[in-house]
Amino acid sequence: MKVIYYNEGEDNAFWLAGLRAALPQAEFRLWLPGDEAPADYALVWDPPKNMLAGRKGLKAIVNLGAGVDKLLQMGDALPDVPILRLEDAGMAVQMAEYATYAVLRHFRRFDEYDRQAQRHEWQFLPSNNKRDFTVGIMGLGAIGKRIAQSLLHFGFPVRGWSRTRKAIQGVHCFAGTDGLEDFLQDVRALICVLPLTAETTSILNQKTFNKLAFGAYLINIARGKHLVEDDLLAALSSGRIAGATLDVFQEEPLPPGHPFWSDPRIAITPHMAGETFRDDTVRQVVEKLHALERGEAISGIVNRKNGY
Ligand code: NAP
Ligand code: GLV
């Protein structure tokens, strides 16, 4: 089995060593421009277009991350073979840690206490009541479900929204465009963990914010293009949104002069909510390659029409 590999921003020697140790019978090679030699599989994260465009003989492409939005931007240039994505692979628990931390930070008003401390101010702030602090999770997939579990543990009322209806114990589930308005109604903390698709692009906009409780919080750990950034700035000005925790941005790295940097109500992290750990990833990739070779049923196949 011949496998080409391209993993933007990672330590290739370390990753290739892990892959070779886990599947010694396969030939893994780092893809370099000009490499058109035959390959059965491509393992990729953010590959250059010419790695895959028009390539013949591939049996499948494995995306070394959860989101396939960048890969699918190649459109018809992508070979017509199954695309597989990572499912959890160690990311879900990290995303749950991040989202839970952000909700607790806003709920317990640590964000405001931090700002007070910077001003050397000692002042008690009234507590929020959990009953009035409904958390809404947009996306109930591998990651959203894990976030829901974590928040339920702390006793938050939890709602979830997905494309197809889910039944998750303790979570009030809503589905589809028809269910969006009821889902959003009076939510105090909105977490976005949706894939970026034609349907979900710009979903975090003024109309969405207006449905939330006044003074709600936004936590975006999905993709920057889910958020209309000017609408967030306007909602912060009006007080409709009281604060935001953002891991992803329209442009990454967030440009130096961007207004988000100077708004103390926005907490910024550099797209680190869910890191792709090598060993968890290698384990899952090897399982998927084995299943493909044996012609077994396999999960994590991307539906190109739905965009995730
Ligand atoms: P997933 O398992 O495919 O789950 C996606 C969820 O979104 C599903 O519940 C799906 O509904 C729902 N959804 C999709 N389109 C929808 C629509 N139009 N309306 C309502 N719900 C919709 O994906 P995942 O593994 O949880 O990952 C989600 C996203 O997180 C990734 O695509 C990526 O962008 C982001 N991510 C970010 C980081 C980071 O470091 N910031 C790390 C990992 C992932 P159904 O259940 O009905 O299909
Ligand atoms: C990271 O953002 C991923 O989609 O895996």
Whether residue 101 is found in the same domain as residue 130:
yes
Read off the pLDDT band of 259 (50, 70, 90). very high
Whether residue 79 is found in the same domain as residue 212:
no
Whether residue 258 is found in the same domain as residue 148:
yes
DSSP state of 127: P
Residue 45 Cβ contacting ligand 1 at under 6 Å:
no
For residue 31, being part of any structural domain is answered with yes
Rounded to an integer, the average pLDDT of 115-143 is 98
Task: Please give the distance, rounded to the nearest whole angstrom, from the Cα atom of residue 128 to the centre of ligand 2.
Answer: 32
**The predicted structure's pLDDT at residue 306:** 97
Q: Which atom of ligand 1 is nearest to the CA of 87?
A: 25
For residue 67, being part of any structural domain is answered with yes
Q: Is the pTM of this model over 0.95?
A: yes
Read off the pLDDT band of 86 (50, 70, 90). very high
Residue 164 Cβ contacting ligand 1 at under 6 Å:
yes
Residue 142 Cβ contacting ligand 1 at under 6 Å:
yes
Read off the pLDDT band of 108 (50, 70, 90). very high
**Residues of the domain holding 49:** 2-87+276-294
Task: Please give the distance, rounded to the nearest whole angstrom, from the Cα atom of residue 276 to the centre of ligand 2.
Answer: 8
Check if the beta carbon of residue 41 is closer than 8 Å to that of residue 58: yes
Read off the pLDDT band of 172 (50, 70, 90). very high
Residue 139 Cβ contacting ligand 2 at under 6 Å:
no
Task: Please give the distance, rounded to the nearest whole angstrom, from the Cα atom of residue 270 to the centre of ligand 2.
Answer: 12
Rounded to an integer, the average pLDDT of 128-143 is 98
Whether residue 206 is found in the same domain as residue 134:
yes
Read off the pLDDT band of 40 (50, 70, 90). very high
Read off the pLDDT band of 155 (50, 70, 90). very high
Q: Compute the Cα dihedral for 130, 136, 140, 144 and give only its sign.
A: negative
Residue 67 Cβ contacting ligand 2 at under 6 Å:
yes
Count the domains in the chain. 2
Please count the CA atoms within 13 angstroms of the CA of 132 that sit on its side-chain side: 8
Phi, psi dihedral angles at 89 (to 5 degrees): 45, 40
d(CA 131, CA 141): 25
Whether residue 103 is found in the same domain as residue 233:
yes
Q: Which atom of ligand 2 is nearest to the CA of 65?
A: 5
Check if the beta carbon of residue 277 is closer than 8 Å to that of residue 283: no
Read off the pLDDT band of 107 (50, 70, 90). very high
Rounded to an integer, the average pLDDT of 22-31 is 98
Whether residue 50 is found in the same domain as residue 100:
no
Q: Which atom of ligand 1 is nearest to the CA of 175?
A: 20
**The predicted structure's pLDDT at residue 18:** 98
d(CA 228, CA 217): 15
For residue 264, being part of any structural domain is answered with yes
Please identify every residue annotated as catalytic: 223, 271
For residue 162, being part of any structural domain is answered with yes
**The predicted structure's pLDDT at residue 38:** 97
Q: Which atom of ligand 1 is nearest to the CA of 85?
A: 25
**The predicted structure's pLDDT at residue 219:** 99
**The predicted structure's pLDDT at residue 157:** 98
Measuring from atom 29 of ligand 1, which residue has the nearest CA? 195
Ligand approaching nearest to the C-alpha of 45: 2
**The predicted structure's pLDDT at residue 114:** 97
What CATH number should be reported for the domain holding residue 71? 3.40.50.720
Ligand approaching nearest to the C-alpha of 221: 1
**The predicted structure's pLDDT at residue 188:** 98
**The predicted structure's pLDDT at residue 85:** 98
Ligand approaching nearest to the C-alpha of 275: 1
Residue 141 Cβ contacting ligand 2 at under 6 Å:
no
Residue 222: name the closest of 254, 245, 239 by CA: 245
Residue 63 Cβ contacting ligand 1 at under 6 Å:
no
Task: Please give the distance, rounded to the nearest whole angstrom, from the Cα atom of residue 237 to the centre of ligand 2.
Answer: 30
Residue 102 Cβ contacting ligand 1 at under 6 Å:
no
Measuring from atom 2 of ligand 2, which residue has the nearest CA? 67
Which helix H or strand E contains 246, and what residues bound it? strand 241-246
For the chain, give the percent of residues with pLDDT over 90.
Answer: 100
Q: Which segments of the chain does DSSP mark as H helices, in order?
A: 12-22, 49-52, 69-72, 91-107, 110-118, 142-153, 176-184, 206-211, 229-238, 278-294
Read off the pLDDT band of 281 (50, 70, 90). very high
Ligand approaching nearest to the C-alpha of 270: 1
Residue 174: name the closest of 133, 134, 224 by CA: 134
**The predicted structure's pLDDT at residue 176:** 98
Average pLDDT, the chain: 98
Whether residue 124 is found in the same domain as residue 81:
no
